[in-house]
């Protein structure tokens, strides 16, 4: 593929770009969606998504990715409730008078009962406030299930670190915890008032231990006073906005390592206050179980006796991400202890040791015991990995596709491929063309990477692996990434075929279960290069025979020598 491309980057500029590539491919991840994926999640056209971006309803990052929290909040608070015709609607939703809400709370408590008080109050909060504080109140049916099989002693001390409208606290009292032994914190004085009034209304008790306060600050005071709790159940604020310096301080205080998300910080603080043999119940975002950001807090949790993992699917109305729970007993666990895993209307047990063997300490509780044996087989057979054996780059980030791209060929433009153009059977005919002067683009990898004699290009935003071996120096946009194998022992075409295989896609989903194909995950996949010593071309059947694995009718796999 011959072309002349104007390139204005000097040596220093190129070095900076390489550093940016490295950082972007590191373990710190930005959760979000492409326009195409957002349209599928919202069940609208891509044109509608673009319109919502233009009118300010959705936030788009410098990488061209729509922030997950932006889409979540939009779907929860605006879509279907407002006429999306002007920016005025956004401005109205992004502000509220919190002092005035204090007056409204009194009437809410008088007018409504039980969980409905919190539902009504939550709906009155502005988009920006809920986004900043990570507020989504837990449905009562989730609360009840999280308490399942928990032995309650009336003299036990119970704590909800971020109590919201009090659903966890109310359930704890109903199950036998004495109101005077219940503690709770929330930074929202209205939420605290609602919780206290609900207790007074239903149990006739004025609780003194439910207070306005930041738990991450309060927990340190409790630890100094050696106050511990027998039960700590909560739904921490997911992705609450906290200054990095503050996050690092809290992470140090509560031994969270590099896990700086507020979910991790709240868990670390809670574990520091949990009594011996006490029970911790946390409702968290699905990213907690498999994303590298949470690896250190997972390593902390896995030293304890984990009782249950539970998937509640999309428990919060309008929220795209799943809600999932982890129940932990504060005692030392034996490696063979069985953990109850509840996923997709199934309940099965997994040994603690089976999770310890996972890369990055991933809690892949959506994978049952039989499937775990297959994963162990894949890693037990001699293999290599891509770690240290490939160079990596992102697709081109123009910074303004409307300005620099065209949907038809014209003078001064060259074809460029999007992630959606990559299929396992080859590339689609390109329908996007980019200005061949890259000097004003936001981010471009060194041109030699795009112009490599052989490279693998792949979809970035995807739940499945989809690779293509490119030998024609094609350009890619940032919805696709690339890697160049370095003396791995097989050809690029063979590597692409292996990564596209059913068994490798199955492994990717059973291990990582993510909507992004991250470099860090790809570097952990087993690459069985010895297979190609016997077979020049890839065949799924031959590959499964080589692995001694068989495909089962329900779409999963089993070990052949254990399959009758």
CATH of 31-93, one of 1.10.10, 1.10.8, 2.40.50, 1.10.1660: 1.10.1660
CATH of 135-368, one of 1.20.58.1030, 3.30.70.2190, 3.40.50.150, 3.30.450.20: 3.40.50.150
Work out the pLDDT band at 351, boundaries 50, 70, 90: very high
Return the CATH number of the domain spanning residue range 390-562. Answer: 3.90.220.10
What residues does 326 pair with on adjacent strands? 282, 309
Three-class secondary structure of residue 206 per DSSP: coil
Q: Could you tell me if 290 and 302 are in contact, meaning their C-beta atoms sit under 8 angstroms apart?
A: no
Express each pLDDT in 43-84 by its tens digit. 666 767 776 776 566 777 645 688 766 676 666 555 544 444
Residue corresponding to tokens 């409702």? 283
| pLDDT at residue 553 in the model | 82
State the average pLDDT over residues 119-144: 68
> Which pTM value belongs to this model?
0.78
Express each pLDDT in 268-304 by its tens digit. 999 999 999 999 999 999 999 999 899 999 999 999 9
Q: How many CB atoms lie within 10 A of CB 107?
A: 10
Q: Could you tell me if 160 and 168 are in contact, meaning their C-beta atoms sit under 8 angstroms apart?
A: yes
| CATH 1.10.1660 location in the chain | 31-93
| CATH 3.40.50.150 location in the chain | 135-368
In the chain, what percentage of residues exceed pLDDT 70? 79
| CATH 3.90.220.10 location in the chain | 390-562
Distance CA 1, CA 495 (A): 23
**Between these two residues, 559 and 31, which has the higher pLDDT value?**
559
Express each pLDDT in 323-349 by its tens digit. 999 999 999 988 789 999 999 999 999
Half-sphere exposure of 248 (CA within 13 A, CB side): 3
245: CB partners within 8 A, 6+ apart: none
Instruction: Locate the DSSP E strands across 66-209.
Output: 66-67, 158-160, 182-186
Three-class secondary structure of residue 359 per DSSP: helix
Distance CA 220, CA 226 (A): 10
Distance CA 534, CA 13 (A): 46
| pLDDT at residue 19 in the model | 33
Residue corresponding to tokens 């929220």? 319
């Amino acid at each position: 593929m011959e072309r002349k491309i104007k390139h204005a980057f000097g040596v220093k500029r190129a070095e900076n770009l390489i550093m940016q590539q490295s950082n972007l491919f590191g373990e710190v991840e930005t959760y979000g969606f492409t326009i195409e994926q957002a349209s599928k999640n919202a069940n609208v056209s891509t044109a509608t998504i673009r319109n919502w971006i233009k009118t300010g309803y959705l936030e788009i990052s410098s990488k061209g990715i729509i922030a997950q929290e932006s889409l979540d909040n939009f779907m929860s608070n605006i879509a279907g409730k407002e006429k999306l015709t002007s920016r005025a609607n956004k401005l109205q939703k992004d502000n509220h008078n919190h002092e005035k809400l204090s007056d409204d709370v009194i009437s809410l408590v008088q007018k409504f009962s039980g969980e409905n008080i919190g539902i009504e109050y939550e709906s009155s909060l502005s988009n920006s406030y809920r986004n900043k504080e990570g507020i989504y109140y837990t449905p009562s049916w989730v609360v009840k299930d999280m308490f399942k099989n928990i032995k309650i002693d009336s003299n036990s001390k119970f704590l909800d670190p971020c109590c919201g409208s009090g659903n966890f606290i109310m359930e704890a009292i109903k199950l036998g915890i004495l109101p005077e032994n219940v503690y709770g914190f929330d930074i929202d004085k209205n939420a605290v008032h609602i919780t206290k009034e609900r207790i007074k209304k239903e149990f006739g008790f004025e609780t003194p231990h439910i207070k306005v306060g930041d738990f991450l600050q309060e927990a340190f005071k409790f630890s100094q006073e050696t106050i511990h709790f027998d039960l700590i159940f909560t739904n921490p604020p997911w992705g609450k906005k906290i200054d990095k310096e503050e996050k690092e301080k809290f992470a140090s205080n509560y031994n969270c390592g590099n896990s700086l998300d507020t979910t991790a910080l709240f868990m670390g603080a809670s574990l520091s206050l949990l009594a011996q043999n006490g029970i911790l119940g946390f409702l968290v975002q699905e990213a907690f179980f498999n994303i590298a950001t949470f690896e250190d807090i997972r390593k902390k949790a896995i030293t304890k006796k984990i009782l249950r993992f539970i998937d509640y699917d999309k428990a919060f109305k309008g929220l795209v991400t799943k809600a999932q729970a982890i129940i932990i007993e504060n005692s030392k666990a034996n490696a063979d202890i069985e953990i109850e895993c509840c996923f997709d209307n199934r309940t099965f047990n997994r040994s603690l040791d089976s999770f310890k063997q996972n890369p990055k300490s991933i809690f892949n509780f959506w994978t049952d015991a039989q499937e775990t044996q297959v994963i162990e087989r894949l890693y037990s057979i001699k293999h290599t990995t891509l770690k240290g054996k490939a160079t990596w780059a992102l697709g081109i980030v123009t910074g303004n596709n409307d300005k620099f791209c065209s949907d038809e060929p014209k003078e001064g433009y060259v074809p460029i491929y999007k992630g959606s153009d990559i299929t396992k059977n080859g590339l689609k005919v390109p329908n996007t063309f980019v200005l061949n002067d890259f000097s004003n683009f936001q981010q471009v990898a060194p041109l030699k990477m795009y112009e490599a004699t052989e490279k693998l290009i792949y979809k970035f935003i995807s739940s499945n692996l989809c690779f293509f071996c490119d030998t024609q120096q094609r350009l890619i946009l940032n919805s696709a990434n690339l890697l160049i194998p370095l003396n791995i022992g097989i050809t690029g075409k063979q590597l692409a075929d292996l990564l596209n295989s059913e068994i490798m896609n199955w492994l990717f989903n059973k291990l990582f279960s993510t909507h992004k194909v991250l470099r860090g995950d790809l570097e952990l996949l087993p690459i069985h290069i010895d297979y190609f010593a016997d077979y020049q071309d890839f065949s799924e059947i031959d590959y499964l025979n080589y692995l001694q694995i068989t495909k089962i009718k329900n779409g999963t796999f089993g070990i052949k020598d254990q399959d009758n």
